[in-house]
């Protein structure tokens, strides 16, 4: 099959592309390799993918309509789109909200318009986020919950993308599956995320910042489990024409437990500074993954302690290279 993977130089896009290429698929990758975090890391991911003959890379932005038109002309046989490109980061959306509307909203529209021009397209899978649950207090978060109280511009941009995708399904019949990811971590991960920042700080004997609160916790989801979830949806023969799934570990882990796992694997104690949690950050996340389990039989397998060990083993090889 022929796949288009946007954000191929990103964390999830890279790992998914590797898995598809290992299966003998053709992957058309697109990424603008921006400097929100280390372009060197993004380039290193792409360099790995380029070692496969089945990988074709376009250095372009998904909002560049002319670049997307070239891809349509060159690859009209694209059958599946994984739109994983995004402007990530909750707190950065306070500093640069325009970037989130441009990439996560305008980019979603551009990919949807592109999809309409592909004669062999079967389905679009697109990245959303657990952040869309916003100020909801009920745990675990379920796909049936209301998502109309976002706590950040990032969350609002992701919810906007979901609404646009449903609209294009309704208007044009584009089959689509939304993916609400819950705190994905692992080797080759994003250096702006807490687990990565904590690990580097502990390694370098620098302080880390934790937020105060009794229930500061996350549903940490290991990258290999995420890829398995995406492949299970891809292989499912009875997906609804439109739907949204939580992709999480379905375990609520205190952030302090994450720090303990990092300390154990790095062999150093963390220097911790506590501050009040900002309003953009959700206090706790936990995924209800019964929907994807009922449809595909997928469930995560990686415990946080095992995932952190695999991540820190990778970091020991590359620490300082990408930052």
* Catalytic sites, residue numbers: 154
CB 21 within 8 A of CB 95: no
What would the DSSP string read from start to end of 71-111?
HHHH-TT--EEEE------TTHHHH-HHHHIIIIIIHHHHH
Please name the residue ranges forming H helices in 150-214: 153-172, 194-203
Residue 67's contacts (CB-CB under 8 Å, 6 or more residues apart) are: 30, 58, 60, 61
Q: How far does Cα 74 stand from its chain's mean position?
A: 27
How far apart CA 187 and CA 119 sit, in angstroms, is: 36
Instruction: Find all residues with CB under 8 Å of 94, minimum gap 6, and list them.
Output: 152, 153, 280
Evaluate whether 266 touches 223 at the Cβ level (below 8 Å).
no
Task: Give me the helices (H) in the chain, please.
Answer: 11-22, 39-49, 65-74, 92-95, 97-100, 107-115, 153-172, 194-203, 223-235, 255-266, 290-296, 304-318
d(CA 57, CA 10): 13
d(CA 82, CA 121): 11
């Amino acid at each position: 099959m022929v796949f288009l993977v946007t954000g191929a130089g990103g964390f999830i896009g890279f790992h998914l592309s590797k898995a598809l290429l290992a299966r003998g698929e053709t992957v058309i990758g697109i990424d603008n390799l921006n400097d929100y975090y280390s372009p060197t890391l993004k380039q290193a991911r792409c360099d790995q993918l380029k070692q496969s003959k089945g990988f074709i890379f376009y250095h372009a932005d998904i909002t560049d309509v002319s670049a997307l038109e070239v891809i349509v002309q060159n690859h009209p046989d694209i059958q599946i789109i994984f739109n994983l490109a995004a402007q990530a980061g909750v707190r950065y959306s306070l500093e640069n909200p325009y970037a989130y509307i441009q990439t996560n909203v305008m980019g979603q529209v551009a990919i949807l318009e592109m999809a309409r021009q592909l004669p062999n397209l079967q389905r679009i899978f697109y990245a959303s986020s657990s952040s869309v649950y916003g100020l909801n207090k009920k745990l675990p978060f379920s796909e049936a919950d209301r998502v109309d109280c976002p706590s950040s511009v990032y969350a609002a941009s992701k919810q906007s993308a979901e609404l646009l995708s449903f609209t294009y399904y309704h208007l044009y019949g584009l089959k689509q599956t939304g993916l609400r990811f819950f705190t994905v971590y692992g080797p080759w991960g994003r250096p702006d995320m807490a687990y990565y920042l904590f690990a580097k700080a502990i390694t370098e004997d620098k302080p880390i910042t934790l937020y105060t609160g009794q229930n500061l916790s996350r549903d940490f989801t290991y990258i290999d489990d995420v890829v398995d979830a995406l492949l299970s949806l891809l292989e499912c023969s009875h997906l609804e024409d439109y739907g949204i799934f939580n992709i999480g570990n379905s375990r609520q882990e205190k952030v302090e437990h994450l720090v303990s796992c990092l300390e154990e694997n790095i062999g150093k104690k963390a220097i911790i500074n506590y501050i009040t949690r900002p309003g953009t950050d959700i206090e706790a996340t936990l995924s209800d993954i019964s929907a994807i389990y009922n449809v595909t039989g997928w469930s995560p397998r990686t415990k946080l302690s095992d995932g952190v060990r695999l991540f820190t083993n990778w970091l020991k090889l590359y620490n300082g290279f990408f930052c």
